[in-house]
Structure 1
């Protein structure tokens, strides 16, 4: 079924792995962490235990680098049975600081798309994560002026989007969300009668993966690159 975008007035963009590289840095950090804990467990086991710890801590720390670092520290203490050295803890903290200080690497076509669409639509940024970190990345990106509104959400479920749209006085039928995560950027919007376009990124966090059953029958479009959106909305 062809999707009609003629009523769209406002377009929302996810940030991490939609506008700029993010998940790649987490995968690199996980590899470094596994090496630090190599004396205690295999890399695969360390990765599994860290992911479980992240899931256990989501309601406490939320999303973002700081919560990830705290989960690494807790995991290191548990995996080593409390034997982890202060030197290793310091190295874990430095992994997090290095992640926060990474340059913001815009994905291909992003600025062209924002510049073009901003001529005909109101653009907003709707992302989740640590507020300070996301504000820092946005400032580094040079993209701030393209957005009428910027929102850092604690989560991206139907209720979060409904509150955001109500706050901005946007009808769901007039809203289009663009992002890389089916779980966070696409399905919640489709479920509240908004539109969504999926732009996959080559790396997806396990927590963001969905099953074919969850996407079955859902009306959304997938494009291979963000530039394709310009032609869709002409």
Structure 2
């Protein structure tokens, strides 16, 4: 088994907080439309709109805001007021302007791995928003490459790890989404490490691939360096024998 040379990191809810701001905005949206239905119904209609619109608007705040407006029009049967639309737009602007909050153990883990592996940031979503968050996070210098993609599929990882590394077979993907970060990376032939987040968008759920040989799960990013030492130990042992 070839030694690992490249590690890909997801961004949202892996390196910094993201979903919590969507949840808070959704609560605000549901309250705005509280006179037109139950909270669960409004949230369900919003999720359906988001699902329909992914192919048109992609992932991120802009698509979320447009889906909220669409849902408001549907639920009110076209009677939504201009003031409600204005509040939805204001909520979207507040999300886009919110300071970036990095998650625990991020900086020290990237510092420990930089130089030993090629670190690549692989994130999906709106280009402008993802670039803003990366710049505000102060984490950009740790990465040798940044890839902002429209979606994450097996071919996405195969292409990125071939471009910035030695192929998927010698790469690892680290992230919080089983659907986007883990399953397609495994399908591409890479290692995949799941770092669960307390909040994960419903459309990012997938069955945990517990039987996959290259799948691992850790509680937080602070456990990643030790995991890599364990995975890479056979290669280190072989190198020591050759040096002797």
Tell me the TM-score normalized by structure 2: 0.90
Change (3 A) 1:45 1:136: same
**TM superposition shift of 1:170:** 2.9
Q: Which has the larger radius of gyration?
A: 2
Q: Does 1:35 align with 2:31?
A: yes
* Map of 1:217 onto structure 2: 211
Q: Distance in 2 between matches of 1:208 and 1:145?
A: 28
* Map of 1:232 onto structure 2: 227
User: How many residues were matched structurally?
Assistant: 228
Does the residue aligned with 1:161 lie in a helix, a strand or coil? Answer: helix
Q: Distance in 1 between matches of 2:104 and 2:151?
A: 26
* Map of 1:132 onto structure 2: 128
Which of 172, 175, 187 aligns to 1:176? It is 172
The answer to whether the 8 A contact 2:158-2:167 is kept is no
* Map of 2:40 onto structure 1: 44
Which of 194, 197, 200 aligns to 1:198? It is 194
CA deviations 1:131-183 (Å, max 9, x no partner) are 00000000000001000000001001112222222333531111111000111
- Structure 2: state its 5+ residue gaps: 230-244
The answer to whether the 8 A contact 1:187-1:218 is kept is no
**TM superposition shift of 1:211:** 2.9
Tell me the TM-score normalized by structure 1: 0.94
* Map of 1:65 onto structure 2: 61
**How large is the RMSD of aligned CA atoms in angstroms?**
1.2
The structure with the largest helix share of the pair is 2
